[in-house]
Amino acid sequence: MKRTLFRNQLLPWLLLAPQLIITFVFFLWPAAQAVRQSFLREDAFGTRTSFVGFDNFKALWSSAEYMNSLQVTAVFAISVTVLSMGLSLLLAIAVDRMIKSARVYSTLLVWPYAVAPAVAGILWWFIFNPTIGIMPYVLSQLGYNWNHISDKGDAMTLVVIASAWKQISYNFLFFLAGLQAIPASLREAAAIDGAGPVRRFFDITFPLLSPTTFFLLVVNIVYAMFDTFGVIDATTEGGPAQATNILVYKVYFDGFVGQNLGSSAAQSVVLMMLVLVLTVIQFRYVEKKVEY
């Protein structure tokens, strides 16, 4: 906290005004609307709205489609997180061994961060295109008939790969920073005691890396749940047969395409609570990190 302060009373409000006005108009007000809307139901013609209590939420809970979407989101988020973090950790460990070439490799690995999720989706959609793509051709040589337009598993694999690919650079940078923060003396001591590289990794490196790993776990789950809208919309649009219809996509689809405002608002409220939980987890972790 600052000891020296300025004494004006009006000035701070003027300085805060732009941020507060935008926050109120575009964040708090719409969020309040979503909460209000989630307790209302419009009739078929949109002329009358009535208060229905928790009916919209109850309807979600008993909707097979929503339960499917929850499950799809969980599978999707876990797959993206595991795939992307696994590959990035491997690459970060390899770069950590390098002395001269570390910078060159880093540069070659960080740029996908800059690619928009929607563009990443289009790129992989093209590679996996059943008629002209390379991957289906390679897979057919191996005896697998790839078709993400009709096969649920293939569609999920495609969106997972596209989303994980984009996130590799982010995870790589944080893992590399985490690895480089581990004192070399610890690993040297273990080496002198006769521990081989594998043993050193599991007994020293990996435990000391756990704050980074935990932080990335939360960030990746948030990414997979909320930032992958572009990937889904540019490729599968939730299909085939709801196989890739993750929660954020469903909110948009039910609200704008399906025009089911009450249900979409209830879904918004559920999602906001999810973000709230994830943010709290992230912040508690950050507080701990400060104490280290």
Partner 1 sequence: MIENRPGLNLLAHLTLILGVCIVALPVWVAFVASTHGPTDFMSGTIPMWPGPHLVENYSRMLGGGLSTSGTPPVGTMMLNSLIMALSIAVGKIAISVLSAFAVVYFRFPLRGLAFWCIFVTLMLPVEVRIVPTFQVVADLGMLNSYAGLSIPLIASATATFLFRQVFLTIPDELTEAARIDGAGPMKFFRDILLPLSRTNIAALFVILFIYGWNQYLWPLLITTSSDYYTIVAGIKRMADAVDGLPQWHLVMATAMLAMIPPVVVVIGMQRLFVKGLVETEK
152, 240 in Cβ contact below 8 A? yes
Q: Does 266 bind partner 1 (CB under 8 A)?
A: no
Of 25-64, binders to partner 1 (CB under 8 A) are: 25-31, 33-34, 37
67 or 177: whose CB is closer to partner 1? 177
Using the Cα atoms of residue 146, residue 162, residue 112 and residue 95 in order, give the sign of their dihedral: negative
Of 196-255, binders to partner 1 (CB under 8 A) are: 197, 200, 215, 219, 226-227, 229-230, 233-234, 248, 251-252, 255
154 or 235: whose CB is closer to partner 1? 235
DSSP single-letter state for residue 240: S
133 or 239: whose CB is closer to partner 1? 133
Of 152-171, binders to partner 1 (CB under 8 A) are: 165, 168-170
SS3 136: helix
According to CB under 8 A, which one of 107, 194, 257, 287 is a site residue for partner 1? 107
DSSP single-letter state for residue 111: G
At residue 107, what are phi and psi to the nearest 5 degrees? -60, -40
Nearest to 103, CA basis, from 112, 93, 95 = 95
Helices 261-291 and 29-37: crossing angle in degrees, nearest 10, is 130
Q: Does 144 bind partner 1 (CB under 8 A)?
A: no
Stretch that binds partner 1, among 59-67, 68-76, 92-100, 148-156 (CB under 8 A): 92-100
Residues 6+ apart with CB under 8 A from 247: 69, 70, 73, 225, 267, 270, 271, 274
Smallest distance, Å, CB 125 to partner 1?
8
Q: Does 181 bind partner 1 (CB under 8 A)?
A: no
According to CB under 8 A, which one of 115, 182, 208, 281 is a site residue for partner 1? 115
According to CB under 8 A, which one of 54, 276, 284, 288 is a site residue for partner 1? 276
95 or 155: whose CB is closer to partner 1? 95
Nearest to 51, CA basis, from 36, 39, 42 = 39
Give pairs for 142-148: CB < 8 Å, separation 24+.
148/235, 148/236
Q: Does 257 bind partner 1 (CB under 8 A)?
A: no
Q: Does 141 bind partner 1 (CB under 8 A)?
A: no
Smallest distance, Å, CB 88 to partner 1?
9
